[in-house]
Amino acid sequence: MTKQHISYSELKIFTECPHKWKLQYVDGLKGFTGNIYTAFGTAMHAVCEQSALGNLLPENYAEYFDIAFLEELKELDEKPANKLIVEFREQSREIFHKVFPALQELFPDYEVYSSEEDIYEPISELEFTRYLKGFIDLVIKTPDGKYHIIDWKSCSWGWDMKRKSDPMTTYQLTLYKKFFCEKHGIEPKMVETYFGLLKRTAKTDNVEIFRVTSGPKKTTNATKVLTNACNLIHKGVTIKNRNSCKGCPFNNTEHCKR
């Protein structure tokens, strides 16, 4: 297996089931291809990105979202009901005008350092060449000299504490911080990480930005998960995890008989 990089989404799939990873990333089979929820999230990300870059004015948010959302819907295998599409478009209006006020409230006088920053950095802990590939949604810098990495996540009403503290959810930010620091030569203590929840159905607080701690111990643990997966992939070890069959698109198909 000669693949030179691994993304965080790949890492999550591999830790869930190495065989599922093989079917998707080696054999090239389609796994989960998206739905109206992922289409909404992608369109909302696009609004946040273009607004952060100064390419989109608030009065154009709705039009830009609708165009991006409808383009994403065209790519789905099954088109959602029109009623649901209208509902999601209406819900978007409760979110995007609150994103940057929420940032300003939490980070007064911040400046945008980067938006959709490309991460393609070598995993130096390995004995062979492999890169972590990813995109950081937003990095801002505050007057105290600190950098704040923010990853937007679209959801319905929000996350409970279990989801907010789940290792395989939060390790994404931990690893992005590690490789961002290595890329720019920045001290890790000068970088903090956050998830920004963009909530469709919340009655209030449609935008919630909360900090995720990413200290040395957690960085070591996240890096170990990453390197263990890369080593197994390098050796071609892709066994089935029969505890992860529920909901898998390959379960009980010709590609994966239980």
What pLDDT digit, counting tens, does each position of 232-249 carry?
A: 999 999 999 999 999 899
Look at residue 187 and tell me if it is in a domain: yes
Look at residue 251 and tell me if it is in a domain: no
Q: Which of 26-35, 171-180, 181-190, 222-231 has the lowest mean pLDDT?
A: 26-35
Quick: pLDDT tens for 183-222: 999 999 999 999 999 999 998 899 999 999 999 999 999 9
Look at residue 255 and tell me if it is in a domain: no
Q: What is the rounded average pLDDT of the residues 50-58?
A: 93
Q: Give the pLDDT band (50/70/90) at residue 2.
A: low
Look at residue 252 and tell me if it is in a domain: no
On whether the pTM is more than 0.85, the answer is yes
Look at residue 128 and tell me if it is in a domain: yes
Look at residue 76 and tell me if it is in a domain: yes
Look at residue 258 and tell me if it is in a domain: no
Q: What is the pLDDT of residue 257?
A: 82
Give the domain CATH number at 25. Answer: 3.90.320.10
Quick: pLDDT tens for 155-178: 999 999 999 999 999 999 999 999
**Boundaries of domain holding 159:** 5-244
Measuring CA to CA, how many Å separate 80 from each of 85, 154, 208, 243, 249? Answer: 7, 18, 27, 31, 19
Total number of domains constituting the chain: 1
Look at residue 42 and tell me if it is in a domain: yes
Tell me the pLDDT of the chain averaged across its residues.
96
**pLDDT higher at 44 or 30:** 44
Q: Which of 76-80, 140-144, 160-164 has the lowest mean pLDDT?
A: 76-80
